[in-house]
Amino acid sequence: MQLVEPRPNRPIPIRITPLIDVVFILLVFFMLTTRLLPVDYLELGNNTSSRGTATGDPLPELMVNTDGSVSWQNTRYTVEELLPALSGAGIDEANLATADDASLASFTRTLSALDNAGIKAHWKRSTPDS
């Protein structure tokens, strides 16, 4: 006498609903525990106060002004005018400083243009007492 009926030979379907629930719970967990950085600041940790080239000559200093222009050697340039002037002078590395009221957009536009032109720019952070 057989008390248990034999199982049929067809495969048992996998239920997806519990798997979706687990994935959803993991998604919510990681969304709540992830630390999002603020997007309105561009943090650059580059200290170039005592940096010079291998020959000992100081790096030229470029200043991004409030209106988006860039000052170099007491002359104001637009970014489009500055790049040929720097490449004509044989400069491939420079310190980039900003005026107190310069916008982040002007800084990043200048930094990107210098990088695209092959000029390595170092951000020169201004100190509170300077």
pLDDT digits (tens, 9 = 90+) for 26-83: 999 998 888 776 655 555 655 555 555 555 677 888 899 989 899 998 899 998 898 8
- CATH for 44: 3.30.420
Phi, psi angle pair for 52, to nearest 5°: -140, 175
Side chain identity, residue 101: D
pTM: 0.54
Using pLDDT thresholds of 50, 70 and 90, give the confidence band for residue 22. very high
6-10, 65-69, 81-85, 107-111: the lowest-pLDDT one: 6-10
Q: By the 8 A CB rule, do 124 and 96 touch?
A: yes
Q: What is the pLDDT of residue 46?
A: 59
Number of structural domains found in the chain: 1
Q: Are 69 and 96 in contact (CB under 8 A)?
A: no
Domain that includes residue 74, residue range: 39-130
Higher pLDDT, residue 75 or 6: 75
User: Please, which pLDDT band fits residue 123 given cuts at 50, 70 and 90?
Assistant: confident
d(CA 127, CA 19): 55
What average pLDDT does the structure give for the chain? 80
